Amino acid sequence: MTYANLITLFRIFLTPIMILVFFLYKEDPRYFLVLIFFIASITDYLDGYIARKYDQISDLGKFLDPVADKLLVITSLLLVLYDQNNIIIFTPICIIILREVLISALREWVARRDFQNTLEVNIFGKLKTFFQMLSIGFLLFNGSIFTISTYMIGLFGIYVAAFLSLISMIIYLGKVIRS
């Protein structure tokens, strides 16, 4: 068990903790919930950095990291949807979740077919992740900063993330079709 894998497992552990905090700890704005989400989001970067820097890349890590990412993102988006149940927020959340499921299935299929062209993360995927995590944090916060509503910042960000999700998905599909 490497340090990178332990950090990934910590992200998985934080996901049900977020659910408990969301439903059991009533706070407006939700400082504690966003803090947990922020820590979990940072581990997404940290585990990869440590794995590369200290040569701790492993098959277990390659499996666990995307699973941990999907658990955190999809759970957080469902919490946002539970809290802000309307078509305006449903649309980008639906796009993002459908993309996550499709890309996971596509990666599994590519792995089974032993394609030469693996589905490495592209710049649009990295940008999508950045906007996704930032906007989810704002949407979970449920408060305001100065006079700007965090909901509006989060809503704008989640639409940007949904757009980038579609772009990165098209790139992934193109790679598989060309293989």
- Spell out the per-residue pLDDT of the chain, length 179, in tens: 899 999 999 999 999 999 999 999 887 788 999 999 999 999 989 998 999 999 999 989 988 999 999 999 999 999 999 998 999 999 999 999 999 999 888 888 887 777 655 667 778 888 999 999 999 999 999 877 766 788 899 999 999 999 999 999 998 888 888 87
| pLDDT for residue 3 | 95
| pLDDT for residue 175 | 83
| pLDDT for residue 25 | 86
The DSSP letter of residue 57 is -
Of 163, 168, 160, 92, the closest CA to residue 123 belongs to 168
| pLDDT for residue 71 | 96
**For residues 28 and 92, what is the distance between their CA atoms, to the nearest angstrom?**
24
For 3-178, CATH number?
1.20.120.1760
| pLDDT for residue 164 | 96
| pLDDT for residue 126 | 87
| pLDDT for residue 116 | 59
Read off the pTM. Answer: 0.91
| pLDDT for residue 119 | 67
Of 70, 75, 63, 159, the closest CA to residue 111 belongs to 63
| pLDDT for residue 70 | 94
| pLDDT for residue 40 | 97
The DSSP letter of residue 149 is E
- Which is it for the CA torsion 168, 70, 62, 105, positive or negative? negative
| pLDDT for residue 147 | 66
